[in-house]
């Protein structure tokens, strides 16, 4: 698995996965149980092509856009830049 220059440190961040189907279309999912629904929607034969860590939706999309070479990710929603809620570990 290729490590991406951004987003490889776990620390307080949330793990993400980029999946690619046979036609080359990609999907970004959370790697934990919050991404289960996303993974259920993947086409048969889809392959995991990247795993990375991010602490917000904005950071995740920024890394995803850079990996896909789509240019700079922007958002009009400031909430996208807020850190993900921590999972309850109790």
Determine the Cα angle at 19 with ends 39 and 27, to 5°.
75
Residue 20's SS3 state is: strand
pTM, full prediction? 0.83
pLDDT band of 9, cuts 50, 70, 90:
low
pLDDT tens digits, residue range 50-64?
Answer: 999 999 999 999 999
Q: Tokens standing for 26?
A: 């990609």
């Amino acid at each position: 698995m290729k490590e991406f220059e951004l987003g490889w440190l776990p620390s307080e961040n949330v793990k993400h996965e980029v999946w690619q189907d046979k036609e080359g279309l990609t999907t970004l999912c959370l790697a934990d149980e919050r991404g289960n629904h996303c993974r259920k929607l993947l086409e048969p034969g889809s392959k995991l092509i990247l795993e990375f860590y991010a602490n917000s939706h904005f950071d995740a999309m920024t890394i995803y856009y850079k990996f896909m070479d789509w240019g700079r990710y922007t958002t009009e929603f400031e909430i996208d830049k807020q850190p993900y809620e921590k999972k309850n570990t109790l």
